[in-house]
Each structure stands twice: as structure tokens, then as C-alpha cells.
Amino acid sequence: MEFTFSPGQARDCVSTVERHLRAVIARVLSNEIGPDWENQPTGWTKLEREGLEHRRTDEKQRFPDRTVSDRLLDYSHIVELKALVLRNWNSFSAVFWDRRRTELYFDQLNDLRIPLMHGRDLLPHQEHLVLGICGEFLQALERRSRGYNTKLHGYAADLRLCIDRNGRERPLNDEEFAVRKSEVAASKVQLQEWFQTLSETLSPKTERLENLNEFEETYRLRLPFGHVTVTLRWGFEQYDGRYYTCGNIYVESTSHRAFESLIEACETPYWTLYWTLQEELPLAHIVEDIHAQTGRAPTGTASIGSGNPVLTNASFSMAELEGRGRIRADLIRSRRGRGQVCMVIDGPALTDGFRRAHNRLSVDWVLSTLRGEYPHSDVLARLREACTKA
């Protein structure tokens, strides 16, 4: 985004932000509610409508020879735009930041807008503050225009059970087949016992799904808030400083409440959390934005094609928590037509992992963090909460 405003242009900058906000609000609410959204309960309140109609009437009287807009939105200011956004927050949460920060920016800009629009001068530092807040709004709106849609389709997590907490210094070789077979059997039993305990806790309606892999079992659980699919995979080795024979539990749902109820019922830490989006992730744009804001490049990438390859995956280091391991974010452009954002915790032991990441973290928070929008101390505190029991 090219930001061309200087302190002497604070009033023009606010007007530009209001114009862009009106355009995005109209587009979002027309898509979500319909072209008649201004006359729906989610549109204007009675008091707002009266004020906007008065402005429209005044505009028509002052310019009788000019065709003026009949749309009330075109007569709205920051305070009314804020009310619309917050009243329809589910529709706009993917456009802006978290609700608290969004409300703060609207309030600060409105407080500074009032003297500006009435011909009163601001102090120099206030003019800079206006430009800074306007810049944040314009950047958020540009991200949306470039295809940033972080609305969610579903949630998934990888849980892990190890049959030997001590592990081994080396992997098993072919001559140790009997040991390997025994560990595989033990891993299967451990997973089945875990699933039995979970079923007794939640009492779901359970359906066994067909699975052609002899080392997997897949079940669909019907819970009060939706379905959850659970896949048990046993008998594979993982390395985290030592070699372990583990069982993996993959949990997936399109319902956050169903997903949350299972995660909290099983009380098992998870080492990967996936958010699956409704649309593909504009990965190249996101990586460009992160580099422009922070100077950071991905720690790892994957692309397809030659000549002009398409970026498909990008990994970024998030933090290293003492005693809990390294945490990274994996951004995936498309998996079966849907983008994914994935949080992964590596080590220091396979028995550690996330506990509350599904409640404490979000896609918007991850992307904002990667763009450097939060102090590192706040990021560390949030990640520690994600790894700690309630």
C-alpha cells in the first residue's frame, strides 16, 4: 500500500478512510444480507436513521440542482460506521483486527475527527496519530481487497500418545521386527483405550467409517453441537531428540463447539492445530506483507510449477518457550480448494503440547503477529496461555 498523506493532510486522510470504509461495508453487508440491508434490523437504528436522513435532506436543500445519493450510508461518519461494524461483527471480524482493537481505533479516530471537520487545528502529534490510525485502517481494507478472507470452514488437531516416555537413542532396524511388532500392538491398544474413555465421557452417537489402512480406524462422533471425525493411527516412529513409537489422533470438525468439547473432554495435549478457511489463502500477498512490515522471510517454503512458480506453503517461527519448545506457524495456500493456517509446537518432549490454543489463538491473531502488530512480550504471554491448562 502506498501511503501519500502528510501531517497537513489529516482531514483529507480521514475523508479517504471514511470513503473506503463505506465501500467495504456496503459490499460486505450486501453480500451477507442483501442489497436492502439498510432497511433490515442489522442496518441502522431508529436514531441513526433519523440523523442520516436529516443530513441527506440538508444535502439536497443545499444543492438543489445536483443529483445526490439516496443511500444513507453515504452520509455516515466514523461513529455510525463503527456502530455498523460492531453490530455486524461476525461479518467484519475477518476484515479488521480483534474487536477490542477495532473499537479503540474507531473511537480514537472519531475523537480526532471532530475538531478536524470543524476547522480546528490539531496539535502536531495528534496529526501524526490521525495518519497512523488512518494508515492502519487503509492497510486492513487493502488486505481484504487483495483477497484476505479468514472466515473459517473447520478445525483440526493432532494429538499424540507415546507408549514409552523415555524413548530410544536410535530407530529400530529390520532385525528388531519382533520388538517393532510388539510396540505397534501396544500403540493400537493404547489408542483404543483412549477412545473408549473418551466415548464414556461424552456418550456420543458413534459411527465406524470405512478405512482401508490396516493401521488406522476412523469414527464419526455425533455431539450436541455437531459432528467430529476422529482418526486413530498407530505404530509409527517419531523423533524429538529421541525415537518414540507413537499413536496419532487426528480430530476434525466444522463446529467449533463440538471440536472444543472433544478437546477439553479428552484432556490430551495436541501438537498441531489447523484452521481450515472457506477460501484459498492468498499466500504470496501475505508473505509480501509480512516482509514489508517486519523484514522477515519464511524459514521454509514450498512451490509448484517452473519458470513462474506458485508459492504453496510458507513457515514462520513464532517463538521459543522455555521448557515447552519451539512454536511455528505454517501457512498453506490451498488444500482441496481451502487455505489452512497451522500452529505447530516442536518439543521439547512428545508429551508436551497445546492445551488451549483453540480458544486463545485465532487466524487473525496469527497473521497480525507475523506482521509484527503485537509486542513480543504479548505474543509470548498468549502462547504460554495456549500451552497451559485452564
Give the tens place of pLDDT for each residue, 175-226: 665 667 787 888 899 999 999 999 999 999 999 999 888 889 999 999 999 9
Mean pLDDT of the chain: 88
Mean pLDDT of 135-156: 81
Do 254 and 126 have their domain in common?
no
| Residue finishing a domain among 81, 111, 145 | 145
Number of domain units in the chain: 2
Cβ density class 124-155: b for 16+ within 10 Å, e for less: eebbebbbebbebbbbbbebbeeebebebebb
Place 165 in a pLDDT band, splitting at 50, 70 and 90.
Answer: low
In a domain? residue 1: no
Do 135 and 192 have their domain in common?
no
| Residue finishing a domain among 118, 145, 172 | 145
Do 21 and 162 have their domain in common?
no
- Burial class from Cβ neighbours inside 10 Å (0-12, 13-18, 19+) for residue 298 reads buried
Q: The C-alpha cell of 145 is what?
A: 481487497
Residues 278/284/286/288 CA torsion (nearest 10 deg): -170
Domain range for 35 is 7-145
Q: The C-alpha cell of 108 is what?
A: 480514537
**Helix, strand or coil, per DSSP, at residue 221:** strand
In a domain? residue 2: no
Predicted TM-score (pTM) of this structure: 0.69
DSSP H or E stretch at residue 369: helix 363-370
| Residue finishing a domain among 94, 116, 145 | 145
Tell me the pLDDT tens digit for each residue of 1-15: 678 899 899 999 999
Tell me the pLDDT tens digit for each residue of 98-123: 899 999 999 999 999 999 998 898 99
How far is Cα 53 from Cα 126, in angstroms, rounded to an integer? 32
Do 306 and 200 have their domain in common?
yes
Do 118 and 164 have their domain in common?
no
Tell me the pLDDT tens digit for each residue of 355-388: 999 999 988 889 888 988 788 888 999 999 998 8
Do 215 and 284 have their domain in common?
yes
